[in-house]
Amino acid sequence: MISTTPAPAVPTNLTATATNLGVNLTWGQSANATSYNLKRSTTNGGSYALLANVAATNYSDTLVTNGVTYFYVVSATNSSGESVNSAQASAMPLPSVAPVNLTAQTGGGQMQISWPHDHLGWHLEIQTNHTASGISTNWTTWSGSFTTNQVFIPVIPTNGSVFLRLAYP
C-alpha cells in the first residue's frame, strides 16, 4: 500500500504588526504543513518575493524601512507541494517615538546634524533668530530630513542663533 501526504491547507489569519524598523507576522497553523513560505512585496497585490521559509507560524521581518508599506502572504509546504497563498496582510513600520539628542559637528562652513537610525521618519526642524530673541514658534522642516538620519546645514553667521529639533511626524 502506498500512502501519500495530502497537500497542505492554505494558512489563515495572517497578521502583520508594525514596530520600529520591523514587522511582526503571525498566522494560523495549516493542516499537513511542514513549513511555510513567507513572501513580501512593496506593491499591493504582489508580485511577491520569497522572504523566508520557516517551520514556525511567526516571523519578524527586520529588513524593512520605516515609512514604507509592506504586503505579505504565506503559503504552506510539505512533501506533496505548496498551498496557494493566504490572504494578504500589510504593515508600515514607524519610527521610534522616544526623544533623542541630536549630534552636531562643524567644519568646512557647514554643520553636520545626525540622530540615531531608529528615528528615520522624524523631521528635523530649524529656526533662526536674533541671539536676543531666543526660541519662537516659527519652526521650518529641513527638506528631505524625514528620509535620512543626517543632514548638512550651511553655517551662515548673519543668521543669528540657530535652533534645531527633531519632531515626530
Q: Kindly list the domain boundaries of the chain, sorted by start residue.
A: 15-91, 103-167
- For the beta carbon of residue 116, count every other beta carbon within 10 angstroms: 16
Say how far apart CA 61 and CA 40 lie, in whole Å: 10
| Per-residue CA distances from 95 to 36, 64, 140, 143 (Å) | 29, 11, 20, 18
Confidence of residue 131 (pLDDT cuts 50, 70, 90): low
The pLDDT score that the predictor gives to residue 52 is 97
Q: Is the pLDDT of residue 31 over 60?
A: yes
Which CATH number is correct for 15-91, 1.10.287.130, 2.60.40.10, 3.30.1330.10, 1.10.1200.10? Answer: 2.60.40.10
> Among 163, 103, 154, which Cα is nearest to 136's?
163
- Measured between alpha carbons, how far is 104 from 109 in angstroms, rounded to an integer? 13
pLDDT of amino acid 32: 94
